[in-house]
Chains A and B, each alone.
Chain A
Amino acid sequence: DIQMTQSPSTLSASVGDRVTITCRASQSISNWLAWYQQKPGKAPKLLIYEASSLESGVPSRFSGSGSGTEFTLTISSLQPDDFATYYCQQYTSLWTFGQGTKVEIK
């Protein structure tokens, strides 16, 4: 099974900060990686697919990069609505999520 490891687990940041979350796969997954945002009590929401493609309607301050085993999600200027938990997901061999990164207010 492919394992996904996110870092950090928690990130404290302020509005306007540039935020980067890392996701590492236990083996190469090419670019078959998605990022989701989840707010408390809500369903996850797709942000990025194929490592770097922005889902329609998602603000351009979100971007994704990487291939193989190392990936990043970047929020260029953190907004109040962005405080949430973020998950990466590989979809090349079944489906595995990272453990999540909670972005909280500093």
Chain B
Amino acid sequence: EGQLVESGGGLVQPGGSLRLSCGASGFTFKNYWMHWVRQAPGKGLVWVSRINSDGSRTFYADSVKGRFTVSRDNAKNTLYLQMNSLRAEDTAVYYCAKEHGNTWYFVDWGQGALVTVSS
């Protein structure tokens, strides 16, 4: 069972940028597709982005396409989410999640990082 630890959350003004990191341990990070999922305060889970194992293919929800960029450094066992042009509606806890090796559900989750977009 792997461990995922997010960092980099905080308070940012509308229009600003922030980069989240997700450190992985306990499994061979480079072999797994990874995701970001967010949860606004008091709301449900919303899928944000997915990246394949070598970082060559990425997918985004329409709500963040063109503003967010997912990437990874397999040498550092770290997943990233670069968030630009942030809006109040991006305020949420952001979770990184590990996809099962053969199918697309999420087997492990980080503890989450809170991003607050406010002036």
Whose C-beta in chain B lies nearest to the C-beta of A96? B47
With a cutoff of 8 Å between Cβ atoms, the chain A residues found around residue B50 in the complex are 95
Q: In the complex, are the beta carbons of B106 and A34 less than 8 A apart?
A: yes
Q: How large is the interface on A (under 10, 10 to 19, 20 to 34, 35 or more residues)?
A: 20 to 34
Task: Provide the A56-87 mask, 1 if CB < 8 A to any CB of B, else 0.
Answer: 00000000000000000000000000000001
Which residue of chain B lies nearest to A100 when distances are taken between CB atoms in the complex? B44
- Interface presence of B59 (CB below 8 A): yes
Interface 1/0s, chain B 28-60, versus A by CB < 8 A? 000000010100000011110010000000010
Using a Cβ–Cβ cut-off of 8 Å, how many residues does chain B contribute to the interface with A? Answer: 20
Cβ 8 A contact of A91, one of B37, B45, B105: B105
Q: Could you tell me the distance in whole angstroms from the C-beta of A41 to the nearest C-beta in chain B? A: 9
Is B112 a contact partner of A46 (Cβ separation < 8 A)? no
> Which residues of chain A are near B17, meaning CB under 8 Å?
none
- Give 9 pairs: A residue, B residue, CB < 8 Å, sorted on A: A45-B109, A46-B106, A49-B100, A87-B44, A87-B45, A94-B47, A95-B35, A99-B44, A100-B44
Chain B residues within 8 Å of A, Cβ to Cβ: 35, 37, 44-47, 50, 59, 61, 95, 100, 103-107, 109-112
Please report A residues at the B interface, Cβ cutoff 8 Å: 32, 34, 36, 38, 42-46, 49-50, 55, 87, 89, 91-92, 94-100
* Sample of 17 more A-B contacts, CB < 8 Å, known A92-B104, A98-B44: A32-B103, A36-B45, A36-B106, A42-B111, A43-B95, A43-B110, A45-B109, A46-B107, A49-B100, A49-B103, A49-B105, A50-B105, A87-B44, A95-B35, A95-B50, A97-B45, A100-B44
